[in-house]
Structure formats: C-alpha cells, structure tokens
C-alpha cells in the first residue's frame, strides 16, 4: 500500500492529460470538419464532400485551407435578359424568376461533378477539377468534357425554362457560357468567420472573357457556348464545334482561339 498510494497522483495526472489531449484533438478535428463542410457541403455531392474529409490533410495549413495550384476547367454563365426582366417584374417575382434559373443550373453543375464557386447577380461561376487535385491527363480531360456536357445540358434547360416562363406570362431570357481549361490557384479567401473557397488566375479570367465576348451576336440564340483552344484540345472530336476566330480578348496580351459548341456529344465517340 505504501508503494501504491504515491503512484495515484501521477497516474491521475496522466489520465487527465490524456483526456485533455484527446478532447483538444477532437475539438481541432471538429473545427476542420466544420470549415470544410462550410466551404464545400452545399456545392458538391455528398460523395465528394466525404472524399474531401478523408483527404483533409491536403487542405489545411496553419488552421485554414491551404492554397493549391492545379489544372481545372472553369465555366462562367450569364443570363441575357435579366435587365429587362428586372424592369418588368415586382421584386419578389423577380427573385423567384431568377431562383428558378439559378437552382436549375446549379443542380446541373453538381450533377456533372462541378463545384459552384460564386453567384454574381444573374451569373454563375463553376469549377471542374477542384478541390481534389487532378494528377493525370485523363482526369483533366474528363473535367473539360464534363464542363462542356454540363453547358449543353444548361442550354437545354434554358429552352425548357423559357417555355415554362412563357406559359406563366413571365419574360424569357438567353444564356451565354464561357469555358476555359488550364492552371488555376484554388484556396479560401476571407476572414475565418466568412471563408469562401474560390479559384483565381489567368484561366479564370479567360473563361469570364469568353462568356462576355460579343454579347450582341448571342442575342438571337437561347444559349451560346464559347470555349478556348485549351478546352477544345481535351475534347478530341466529341462535340460539334465551329471556329469563331483568333481574338484579342479584353485584358489579354495574346490572341485566343475561340470555338462555339453547337451540339451535344456525338454518339459514335
């Protein structure tokens, strides 16, 4: 007994320390999971969210998501006709009208494996190839094909929405899409309370410029999809495309070869 009693305080201290360490680690893990889920859970499928959590060590540095350079395909869409609709519709009806479009398109982005990055007024930005880095040419090619397939489905959805809006006596609209593939930097911007996962870089800027290129020529089409040569390179001959020209896009120093996607994926490819 004389030997056992003095050993009790050290043992108790050890157990208490172990409990505190375990609690601290558990708390840190919860914080990481909360941050990751805040950034991704609403914008990716449950399977992708679970995969992100399994590979969480890739995403954290110093308690916040780390920035990564990776290959991706970026998609921008814009609703042509929003200004006219905003002048015609009452505020709540305008929001309902716009949400019909946003929800339908965001669902398609997720269906094709993309991540909705941002909503800006009537515009949508989506990334294909994040947040899990692609390591092979096959994966990068797959993202480009998925982005274009998604854009085509968005076009068909736009046609359906216009029919629905017409029946309800609501204004119609057209949609422009720009897509470009290349290197991007992905990371979380903002304060710890208001983090936002996003992508930046020349690839992002080029995709945005493709979406807004020659707006007037897109007025008579329900939807228009423009892609750059980088994206076309990954498509092989899977889609019907038409060469638009080599254009000096706004803010760019070098000309970009632009193609318009005309039809769905060919069945024989």
pLDDT digits (tens, 9 = 90+) for 217-229: 888 889 999 999 9
**What does the pLDDT look like over 66-105, one tens digit per residue?**
788 999 999 999 998 888 888 899 999 999 999 999 999 9
| Chain centroid offset of residue 85 CA | 26
Tens-of-pLDDT digits for all 269 residues of the chain? 455 555 556 555 555 555 554 444 444 565 666 656 555 655 555 666 666 667 667 666 665 667 889 999 999 999 988 888 888 999 999 999 999 999 999 999 989 999 888 888 789 999 999 888 888 999 999 999 999 999 999 999 999 999 999 999 999 999 999 999 999 998 877 666 666 778 999 999 999 999 999 888 888 889 999 999 999 999 988 899 999 999 888 888 889 999 999 976 655 44
Rounded distance between C-alpha atoms, residue 57 and residue 86, angstroms? 45
* C-beta of residue 226 within 8 angstroms of C-beta of residue 210: yes
Residues 6+ apart with CB under 8 A from 126: 74, 75, 76, 77, 109, 114, 115, 116, 117, 147, 150
* Strand, coil or helix: 170: coil
């Amino acid at each position: 007994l004389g030997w056992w009693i003095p050993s009790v305080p050290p043992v108790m201290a050890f157990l208490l320390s172990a409990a505190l360490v375990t609690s601290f680690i558990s708390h840190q893990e919860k914080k990481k999971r909360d941050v990751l889920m805040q950034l991704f859970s609403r914008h990716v499928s449950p399977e992708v969210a679970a995969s992100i959590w399994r590979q969480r060590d890739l995403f954290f540095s110093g308690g916040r998501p780390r920035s990564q350079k990776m290959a991706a395909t970026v998609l921008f869409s814009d609703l042509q006709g929003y200004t006219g609709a905003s002048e015609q519709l009452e505020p709540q009806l305008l929001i309902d009208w716009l949400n019909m479009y946003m929800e339908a398109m965001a669902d398609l982005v997720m269906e094709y494996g993309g991540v909705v990055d941002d909503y800006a007024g009537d515009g949508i930005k989506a990334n294909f190839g994040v947040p899990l880095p692609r390591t092979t040419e096959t994966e990068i090619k797959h993202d480009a094909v998925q982005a274009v397939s998604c854009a085509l489905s968005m076009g068909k959805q736009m046609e359906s929405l216009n029919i629905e809006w017409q029946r309800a006596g609501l204004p119609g609209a057209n949609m422009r899409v720009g897509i470009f593939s290349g290197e991007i930097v992905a990371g979380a911007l903002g304060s710890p309370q208001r983090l936002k996962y996003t992508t930046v870089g020349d690839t992002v800027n080029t995709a945005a410029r493709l979406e807004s290129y020659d707006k007037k020529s897109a007025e008579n089409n329900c939807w228009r999809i423009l892609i750059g040569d980088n994206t076309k390179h990954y498509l092989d001959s899977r889609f019907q495309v038409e060469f638009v020209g080599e254009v000096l896009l706004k803010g760019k120093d070098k000309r970009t070869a632009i193609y318009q996607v005309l039809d769905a994926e060919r069945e024989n490819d």
